[in-house]
Structure 1
Amino acid sequence: MNTPTFELQTESLIETIREFQVSNPGVQTSALVYGVAYPELYRELRQWLGQDVSSQRLSLIFDASSEDHCNQYGPYVVRISATTAQPSSLLTRLAQCCVDDYRAVSFLFSQLAFDDIVAGLRERLDVICDDRSEWQMKFFDTRSLSVLDRALSSEQHEQYFGLAKEWWHIDRYGALNKIRCTDTAVDQYRGPLQLNEAQTAAFVEACLPDSILHVLQLTDDDLVAAFDARTRYRICEESIANAPDDERNSAVLLADRVRSDLLNALDPEEKACR
């Protein structure tokens, strides 16, 4: 993403958040950050906000720090105070992270107290599938939010997203998605989240494009690098969607299919060099 586009998207996100804050004065703004995308950010925020966690502005969902404690790979929540003047430096920093890596940051707008938001998110980690296998729901990776939004039943959706009035994230194509939730002052959700076979399959299907692209980055890195992230994902997603059943059950066949479609999408001059 070039600098002017990045700056425009960041400014647009900040302005949209501030407009929502003004229109909803009783709602608290929090950012949910996935540490894997920005391992050094947690330490930066601790220094910025102060070491005293009693300030209730920064809290880990769970700890996944490096051995030297310099990097934090786990998810955490940051409370963002609404300001009446210019956007806060904290909001600006987190909005930049959100635009720069769509996986990394989502924004929750909730009536709940900060501690209740943190506790509610921890409650939503555990998942049990029909076959009794247990998962951890990585809702802090925004790629999971889109699947949750469309895969849950109406009742599950109301319960699972019930800790917020709205939950925002940027998708991999740069669009701001707003999940509208139940506007309640009490979070009544109790885990674990139970997924049926079809819902489990929806998450498995959603992982396929990223998994195949990872394989191709190991075997055909120059081909994958010929496309920007959004373009190569779109090609991969469409290729998998059009694959027959016998290919969909084989990672090798899917990788071959996507490789072929990527080659076909190259400019003629680049294609001639391969």
Structure 2
Amino acid sequence: MSNENEITAHGLALLSLINHADLNDRGAMLYSLIDGAKFPSLGRLTLPNDDSVTLHSLLGESAQVDAIYAGPVLLRHARGQHCPVLTKLLKQANSAHFLSLIVSDEPFPILFERLRWLTDVVHDDGTEWVMRYYDPLVLPHWLGVLDRAQRAAALGGSRAWVYIDMHGRPHSFGSEKIGDAVAIPSDPMLLSQQQCDELMSKTLPYMVMHQLESDDQHLLSTLSPRDRYAFFSQQLCKASAYGLSSPADLKCYCMLSLMIGAHFDASPVAAEALRQASPDDSFSERILSWTPEQWASLEESDSIL
């Protein structure tokens, strides 16, 4: 386990991928893309006076000052991997959850506008919202739902974009040809309903995990961090197969799978509640009426499955 004076193992893995991108070739620049909502100390980060590190909010000029540090922020590191601010970031124990690194050949104004274009998204029903692609956990799922043209525009000019995935493994992606920049479309980034639904499905496990940890920070401790995404994906698929769809029911189902066991649904008391669940009598409401005897029966049933 690293101390506060050491770069974390995840941080070293990211730097290793950056080194393969060859920052010294053709003036490529290193950037860190930060999810401010997951790094509360961002607003207290001290930058050098020589402009070797500059901070740029991707929310636009209309954003409130207090919102800037809770949104997507791009840091430009003129000293590359030798930047002390980058080193400080990579010493953070949870840096893999709030930071990804970009090596780009593009002039800064063009890269900035490209990332701004990715941030402000229009749904095909006309609504507008901020896309959280800058969250490293969301990043690969978001990229996976983009069509070929959107992906090319997103990665255009990026030599490498590196991050740590949900299993703790380092990954890198970039444009197919180094420096092969694709023009930023004049129209806003548009996502279809199908793309939104697919992205929601892939990121739902993170949302449920966050809700459960907010209720009890120790609730997920029985699972290895590397196994959590797969576990919740499987449990949410099972819950959906039972017809559960409300946030309360999905959260309740996953909570029981953690507390009782992954196969709790096979016990008679749980099977009955799942079979009778309806919009007027939801699964989460039904379990509130369980007696102590039913709870004991549930735990006993799972222990012998």
Query: TM-score surpassing 0.5?
Result: yes
Which stretch of the first structure deviates more once superposed, 23-32 or 102-111?
23-32
1:84-137, CA deviations, whole angstroms, 9 ceiling, x for partnerless residues?
Answer: xx833233223334x623331111111112232222212222222222222211
Q: CA-atom RMSD, angstroms?
A: 3.2
Larger Rg: 2
- Cα offset for 1:22? 4.9
Closer/same/farther in 2, CA of residues 6 and 166 from structure 1, 3 Å limit: closer
| Contact 2:17/2:162 (<8 A) preserved | no
Residue type of the alignment partner of 2:91: Q
Identity level (%): 22
The answer on whether the counterparts of 1:167 and 1:181 sit within 8 Å (CA) in structure 2 is: no
How far residue 205 of structure 1 moved from its aligned partner, in angstroms, is 1.0
Residue 253 (structure 2) aligned to one of 228, 232, 257: 257
Q: Aligned residue for 1:238? A: 234
Equivalent positions of 1:114-125 (< 5 A) are 114-125=108-119
- For the residue of structure 2 that corresponds to 1:190, the secondary structure is coil
The residue type equivalent to 1:74 in the other structure is G
Tell me the secondary structure at the aligned position of residue 8 of structure 2.
helix
Partner of 2:54: 57
* Residue 140 (structure 1) aligned with residue 141 (structure 2): no
| Maintained 8 Å contact 2:156/2:181 | no
Question: Is structure 2 residue 158 aligned with structure 1 residue 189?
Answer: no
The offset of 1:227, in angstroms, is 3.6
Measure, in 2, the Cα distance between the counterparts of 1:264 and 1:6: 38
TM-superposition CA deviations, 1:17-73 (whole Å, max 9, x none):
2332357443211111122222333442xx3322x76x6732222355439xxx922
Indicate the residue corresponding to 2:89 in structure 1.
Answer: 94
Distance 1:56 1:123, change over 3 A: farther
| Residue 66 of structure 1: aligned partner | 66
CA offset at residue 152 of structure 1? 0.9
Structure-to-structure mapping, 1:24-39, within 5 angstroms: 24-39=25-40
The answer for the alignment partner of 1:165 in structure 2 is: 159
Q: Which residue in the other structure is 2:288 paired with?
A: none
Cα separation, partners in 2 of 1:142 and 1:200, compared to 1, 3 Å: same
User: Which residue number corresponds to residue 110 of structure 1?
Assistant: 104
- Residue number among 175, 179, 189 corresponding to 2:173 in the alignment: 179
For 1:34, the aligned partner's letter is: D
- The separation in 2 between residues aligned to 1:110 and 1:94, in whole angstroms, is 20
Q: Distance in 1 between matches of 2:71 and 2:215?
A: 29
* 5+ residue gaps, structure 2: 263-298, 301-305
Alpha-carbon distance change, 224 to 77 in structure 1, aligned in 2, over 3 angstroms: same
Structure 1 stretches lacking a partner, 5+ long: none
SS at match of 2:96: coil
1:224 aligns with 2:220: yes
The 10-residue stretch of structure 1 (175-184 or 106-115) with the greater mean CA deviation from structure 2: 175-184
Could you tell me whether the CA contact under 8 Å between 2:101 and 2:161 is conserved in 1? yes
Residue 248 of structure 1: how far off its partner (Å) = 4.1
| Separation in 2, partners of 1:18, 1:184 | 20
Q: Which residue of 2 aligns with 1:3?
A: 2
* Secondary structure of the structure 2 residue equivalent to 1:33: strand
1:186–1:199 CA distance, 2 compared to 1 (3 A) = closer
CA distance in 2 between partners of 1:242 and 1:253 (Å): 12
Query: How many residue pairs are counted as aligned between the two chains?
Result: 257
* 8 Å contact from structure 2 (residues 13, 170) kept in 1: no
Q: Give the whole-Å Cα distance in 1 for the aligned partners of 2:87 and 2:214.
A: 35
Residue 13 (1) aligns with residue 14 (2): yes
Q: Distance in 2 between matches of 1:259 and 1:214?
A: 12
Alpha-carbon distance in 2 for matches of 1:223, 1:164 = 39
